[in-house]
Amino acid sequence: MRAYTIFLISAALLASGCSSNPKERPERSEAQQYEEVRKQIERNNFLTAIDELRELEARFPYGDYAEQAQLDLIYTQYRALDYPATVASATRFLRNYPANEHLDYVLYMKGLANYNLERGLFDRIMHTDKASRDMDAWRDAFNDFQELVSRFPDSQYSPDARARMVFIRNQLAEHELHAARYYARRGAYVAAAARAREVVIHYQETPSVEEALAIMSRAYRSLGEAQLSDKSLAVLRHNWPDSGYINNEGRVALSWWPSEDGGLLSLLTFDLL
């Protein structure tokens, strides 16, 4: 009798366990699964959409929606703020589908992802100075936008890409200028002149060129290179006759320039004053 009771209890537990198991999701066709992807995107459920897209790719790697699903993956990863994944997916798409009609869009999204990857969430909130740090992602973004406007000059994405290129160039020039100031403050005048020269040569038509020429003139003077100093000053005068970097005596004057004996204040203040 006891054995019979135990059997009934076990059977009841088994039955309840089976009834509590969730129902398995019915197998979906490629079209049905892609339709679910679109629904999730329309609802701004980007993380769910990403999961659906990855499952779709795993089940139908060469299906009718394969290329479109990859485009959607780039978009959803970008909207989910996963910029490294966006760059990776865009790079893969460019490699796998070189003849796709939406390559301009992919290049644009790749550029945007690199652009925002450099900025970061903290920068968008605090508006930090980006010139004082490494800017590899913005260099990549510039190259992406440059490829876009070169290959697809009439693309609807090209005007914004060009505007962002101007902004990035200004930031890259300021980055080099920041380095030139850094070296000058420490008496490394050869390095300071070299970084300022990078601005003049590679970032023409940016606001940083004026100060770069002033740094070059002042650095060459500190090095005893009078001819190079005068040449830089002449270019500065020609392009900016009313430059604030030229004093009443007609020479370059930079308020932050260290004294020739490398005073203690210059050493302690670094790049803050």
201-226 tens-digit pLDDT: 999 999 999 999 999 999 999 999 99
Q: Answer whether 100's CB lies under 8 Å from 84's CB.
A: no
What residue ranges do the domains of the chain occupy? 30-80, 188-269
Tell me what pLDDT residue 119 has. Answer: 67
> Is the confidence at residue 89, as pLDDT, over 60?
yes
> Is the confidence at residue 270, as pLDDT, over 60?
no
Cα(59)–Cα(74) distance, integer angstroms: 19
Cα(74)–Cα(76) distance, integer angstroms: 6
Centre a 10 Å sphere on the Cβ of residue 63 and count the other Cβ atoms it contains.
17
252 three-class SS: strand
Confidence tier at 104 by pLDDT (50, 70, 90): very high
Tell me what pLDDT residue 13 has. Answer: 46
> What's CA 270's distance to the chain center, in Å?
27
Residues 264-268 have a mean pLDDT of 48
Give the residue carrying structure tokens 């693309």: 155
pTM over 0.85? The answer is no
Give the residue carrying structure tokens 């299906």: 63
Q: Answer whether 104's CB lies under 8 Å from 155's CB.
A: yes
Average pLDDT over the chain, rounded to whole?
Answer: 86
3-state helix, strand, coil in the chain (%, to 5): 70, 0, 30
pLDDT digits (tens, 9 = 90+) for 139-167: 999 999 999 999 999 999 999 999 999 99
Using alpha carbons only, what angle is made at residue 218 by residues 215 and 221, rounded to the nearest 5 degrees? 145
Confidence tier at 135 by pLDDT (50, 70, 90): confident
Extract the tokens encoding 252: 């370059």
Residue type, 100: N
Q: Answer whether 77's CB lies under 8 Å from 86's CB.
A: yes
Share of the chain above pLDDT 70, in %: 79
Name the phi and psi angles at 246, rounded to 5.
-110, 125
> Is the confidence at residue 127, as pLDDT, over 50?
no
pLDDT digits (tens, 9 = 90+) for 33-68: 999 999 999 999 999 999 999 999 999 999 999 999
DSSP state of 12: H
> What's CA 192's distance to the chain center, in Å?
26
Tell me what pLDDT residue 145 has. Answer: 98
Q: Which residues contact 68 (CB under 8 A, 6 or more apart)?
A: 34
Confidence tier at 259 by pLDDT (50, 70, 90): confident
Q: Which residues contact 263 (CB under 8 A, 6 or more apart)?
A: none
